[in-house]
Amino acid sequence: MERIISAERVEDILNVFGSFDQNLHIIEKEWNVCVTDRDAELKISGEPEDVVSAEKAVQNLLMLAARGENVDEQRVRYVIGMIRSGQEDQIRELDSGVVCITAKGRPVKPKTLGQKAYVQAIRENTVTLGIEPEIETVNGAELTYTVTLTTPNGEEKVYTGSPKEIAVENPQLWWPHGLGEQPLYTVRVDLQRDGETGRKKIVAITRYLTVGLALIESGAMAVGFGRQGLLVKYNFVNAAIVVLTLTAGSAFLMWIGERITEKGVGNGISIVLVINIISRIPSDMKTLFDQFVKGKAIASACLAVCVIIAIILALVVFTVILQDGERRIAVQYSQKIVGRRSYGGQSTNIPLKVNTAGVIPIIFSSSLMQFPIVIASFLGKDNGSGIGSEILRGLNQSNWCNPEQIKYSWGLVLYIVLTVFFAYFYTSITFNPLEIANNMKKSGGFIPGIRPGRPTVEYLTKILNYIIFVGACGLILVQIVPILFNGWLGAKVSFGGTSLIIIVSVILETLKQIDSMTLVRTYKGFLNS
């Protein structure tokens, strides 16, 4: 395929080609096309899709050159990136207006959409901080960062999501020399590796795993429906319809959760789970009422109600404390003197959550123990009498702590071991003490009494191991109490420790996000008002 592009001026073509045709070589290498110049006309040849993309790049570069812009390698790669991401229409929106004139008489103009937004923020606000690291990737991993702005009053404001500009509302301006104080704002930027790229990879893997697990679970349920006579005809077509329907429903719920995360507040998937859990609470309460209160004497009924309420409230309070608990490690930043002024010297802390892994260890351990049961049910081997069936009964949570089947409680011990293991495993891949120590060292920070470098890493690792163990014990306690309640007393309720932790953690996190958004916009959060 070939395309011909006409240019009004030869100077524009020379500007687009660059010195020794270096810009042209970049475009040819990017899309594997061939670009030739014939009498103020450019011919692009290659595969159809590549030719179309290269044509868009050349036309936009010619447009910029016609406006008097200098087309260098940086500008070419920026245009290529915009076309790759489907944003070629926004290239024309680049502000061609002059921001200012340098001392040498050269105009300063925004060259990217980010710079355009930055210039607009400068025009609309008194003080605007522009932040953009020169290095965007390290070993192929994208960098993200958070910004901490400390006001002269000592108030800290944290900006997440790698902001390009930060507008300081109602800033304390400097007085002329000798007429007043000069309040100092301190800005700290913390870089993290594998941010957005890693997040996208995790989201993609999560989607595939969700669909795969939905297929397995729906297949087992289809077999179960057929054996129980819930299908009109137990054949391949009806079973396939059940599998496809349940899998499509799971994918739809996943899509809804992602849309809530993107357009709303909080984690969408977690909110969907919480709604599902809360919807089962009334039926569980009715089950408890029918089993322990209904038909009993007034004194016994009142005592049962008080015990049930006390257990639920105690678990809720304990879960809130567990989810909000932190171990704060003090960090001191060294003071620097530049000229007659001193910078830094502030004290802060590293907050380490007691429950560092959240509900993930319980979910992982429960899923791992339930997987053999699902497979056995799928194959029709769940009601046997051999050693395999005995193992499956031990893995079944409904048989734990039952006085009549106490031998199957060994599964509870395995469950505890797996929970502790996954607590350490998940924290080890999400929290890196070495990276924290390196960032502190580069910023001039240190833990009082601990030398920077390896001693700091060892200290953080030691503290983290203690915290993980305490958090895992808290998770086990929250999960075991409902299991004991169901097994020992025979309470058949679906509401367990996992559900409680999910509800509490999601509600607390959602409230914090709403409060932070309110604080950014009104400088007053609703939680502390």
Averaged over 126-146, what is the pLDDT? 63
Q: What percent of the chain has pLDDT over 90?
A: 2
Averaged over 283-302, what is the pLDDT? 83
| Crossing angle (nearest 10°) for helices 196-227 and 360-379 | 40
Q: Which residue has the tokens 């007393």?
A: 489
- Does the pLDDT value for residue 95 go beyond 70? no
What would the pLDDT profile of 426-471 be if each residue is shown by its tens digit? 888 777 888 888 877 777 778 888 888 888 888 888 898 889 888 8
What would the pLDDT profile of 405-422 be if each residue is shown by its tens digit? 777 788 888 888 988 898
Kindly report the three-state secondary structure assignment for every residue of 171-205: CCCCCCCCCCCCCCCEEEEEEEECCHHHHHHHHHH
Q: What percent of the chain has pLDDT over 70?
A: 78
CATH topology of domain 2-93: Ribosomal Protein S8; Chain: A, domain 1 (3.30.1370)
Supply the pLDDT for residue 243: 92
Select from 77, 123, 76 the least CA-distant residue to 99: 123
Is 356 or 266 the better-scoring residue by pLDDT? 356
Supply the pLDDT for residue 133: 62
Supply the pLDDT for residue 221: 82
For residues 398 and 486, is the Cβ–Cβ distance under 8 A? Answer: yes
What's the rounded Cα separation, in Å, for the pair 435 and 426?
Answer: 17
Supply the pLDDT for residue 249: 92
Is 132 or 400 the better-scoring residue by pLDDT? 400
What's the rounded Cα separation, in Å, for the pair 23 and 28?
Answer: 9
Structure tokens at 514: 């709403």
Averaged over 219-224, what is the pLDDT? 82
For residues 358 and 420, is the Cβ–Cβ distance under 8 A? Answer: no
Burial of 293 (0-12, 13-18, 19+ CB in 10 A): middle
What's the rounded Cα separation, in Å, for the pair 63 and 60?
Answer: 5
What would the pLDDT profile of 172-190 be if each residue is shown by its tens digit? 777 776 666 777 788 888 7
Averaged over 70-88, what is the pLDDT? 79
Supply the pLDDT for residue 241: 92
Q: Quote the Cα angle for 58-62-63, to 5°.
A: 120
- Does the pLDDT value for residue 200 go beyond 70? no
| Crossing angle (nearest 10°) for helices 298-324 and 454-489 | 160
Structure tokens at 513: 């996000």
Q: What is the DSSP letter of 111?
A: -
Q: Report helix, strand and coil shares of the chain as percent, to nearest 5.
A: 60, 15, 25
Supply the pLDDT for residue 271: 84
Instruction: Check if 2-93 and 282-522 are the same fold.
Output: no
Q: What is the pLDDT of the chain when averaged over all its residues? A: 77
CATH topology of domain 282-522: Preprotein translocase SecY subunit (1.10.3370)
- Does the pLDDT value for residue 237 go beyond 80? yes
The lowest-confidence range among 211-225, 292-306, 462-476, 503-517 is 503-517
